[in-house]
Amino acid sequence: SQQGEEDPQALSIQEGENATMNCSYKTSINNLQWYRQNSGRGLVHLILIRSNEREKHSGRLRVTLDTSKKSSSLLITASRAADTASYFCATDAEGSYIPTFGRGTSLIVHP
Amino acid sequence: KAGVTQTPRYLIKTRGQQVTLSCSPISGHRSVSWYQQTPGQGLQFLFEYFSETQRNKGNFPGRFSGRQFSNSRSEMNVSTLELGDSALYLCASSLAGARYEQYFGPGTRLTVT
């Protein structure tokens, strides 16, 4: 089974709204990463957050990590139609060097 | 700088045949990883090569193999193709390894008939 699972599976919002997606995982991790995939640009790295970090920002993106709940959230503020894509979290469990990807959240941003 | 390139982009093969996919990483990146992406199983790690050595391996049968050359370019081979091998095969390169920031190529779409 997947180490990380994103929720919701699909999200549909209007341009300008915020989008929040979550990732839950099963075992202790070293790092958690978020990636975006769309047909135009393929799979692109967004943010890496280490297990000893709680929050990171990158432009309109904010990632939080709660290791006690084994969960992470990705917030996209003021979304744009160009943010339409699938978003994946990837985790590597402690003692492992292999990243495990979730099934992804499909985000549609309507203009 | 140039991104990760993969060739070919599309491939149609027949069951039982073998296939070789190629990946050129970003200049300076010594880690190259391969992934299989399907609608049913999602994105799954195949293996990682670092400085010509296989460093990590996912849970795939021995029909899936790879290698890395001294210039960091990598090839992946699948022998005795099965219908279930139809997938998008993605290559990713990284400075530090698969558990850190990776740069993905556009993928090779393999269809097995």
pLDDT tens across B32-90, in order? Answer: 999 999 998 899 999 999 999 999 999 999 999 999 999 999 999 999 999 999 999 99
Chain A within 8 Å of B44 (Cβ-Cβ)? yes
φ, ψ (nearest 5 deg) of residue A96: -120, 150
Residues of A in contact with B92 (CB under 8 A): 43
Please report which confidence band the pLDDT of residue B104 belongs to, taking 50, 70 and 90 as the band edges: very high
Least CB-CB distance to A45: which of B42, B101, B107? B101
Contact between residue B95 and residue B28 where contact means Cβ atoms under 8 Å apart: yes
Question: What is the tens place of the pLDDT at every residue in A38-91?
Answer: 987 789 999 999 999 999 999 999 999 999 999 999 999 999 999 999 999 999
Burial (Cβ within 10 Å: 0-12, 13-18, ≥19) of residue A108? middle
Chain B residue whose CA is closest to A49: B100
Q: What distance in Å separates the CA atoms of residue B22 and residue B97, rounded to the nearest whole number?
A: 19
Taking the Cβ of residue B97 and every Cβ of chain A, the question of whether any pair is shorter than 8 Å is answered with yes
Q: How confident is the model at residue A1 (pLDDT cuts 50, 70, 90)?
A: very low
Q: Do A98 and B98 touch (CB under 8 A)?
A: yes
Collect all residues of chain B within an 8 Å Cβ-Cβ radius of residue A88: 43
**d(C-alpha A48, C-alpha A14), whole Å:** 27
Strands across the sheet containing B5-7: B5-7, B19-24, B74-78, B64-68
Give the whole-angstrom CA distance, residue B97 versus residue B86. Answer: 27
- Do B104 and A33 lie within an 8 Å CB cutoff? no
- CB spacing of A92 vs B99 below 8 angstroms: yes
